[in-house]
Every structure is written in structure tokens, then in C-alpha cells.
Amino acid sequence: MSLIVVATIVAKPGHEATVRQALEQVVPPSRAEAACRRYELHVDNDAPASFTMLEEWDSVAALKEHEDTAHFQALVAAVGGKADIRISQLTKIA
């Protein structure tokens, strides 16, 4: 069963461009991971500092492998302290 991840990232004032650029950079290498089924970045039309990443992974272990990649670690370093982040992990039940 796949794992769905919804990450909401809200850039702090003055860091909107930096956060957006870091998020955009992580998309291509994440999509290239074998266990990645979906990796989509969205921006809120009414709040341009608010981003949502919709992800689907083959498993919890696949997400852990993703979190250990150099590109994900670069994202963490780039947005650290510059955004508020909320992550939900979901399992489809119906």
C-alpha cells in the first residue's frame, strides 16, 4: 500500500523566493527516485507564501530513503528557519 504525504510549507516574511526556489529544485530529483509515484508542488493562489507538496511513495521505507537523499537534505538546509512546515502522512482506506 502506498503512502501519501501532504507537506504544507509557509515561508516566513522576506523568505518567500528562497523557499520557493528550494522547493522547485527538489522536485525533479525526487520524481526520479524509483519509489516515487507522485511529487507535485503547488502554491496557494490567495497566499503566495504558502506551498503544498503532494507526494506518493511506495512505502514508509521509501519515504525514509527519500529523506536521506542529498537533494532532500539540501532542501532541509535551505528552508531551515525560513518556513513553517506541517507534514501529514496518509493511508488510503477507501
DSSP 28-39: HHHHTSTTEEEE
Average pLDDT score, the chain:
97
What is the per-residue pLDDT across 8-28, written as a single tens digit (0 to 9) for each? 999 999 999 999 999 999 999
pTM of the model: 0.94
Distance, in Å, from the CA atom of 26 to the CA atom of 76, rounded to the nearest integer, reads 10
What is the per-residue pLDDT across 62-82, written as a single tens digit (0 to 9) for each? 999 999 999 999 999 999 999
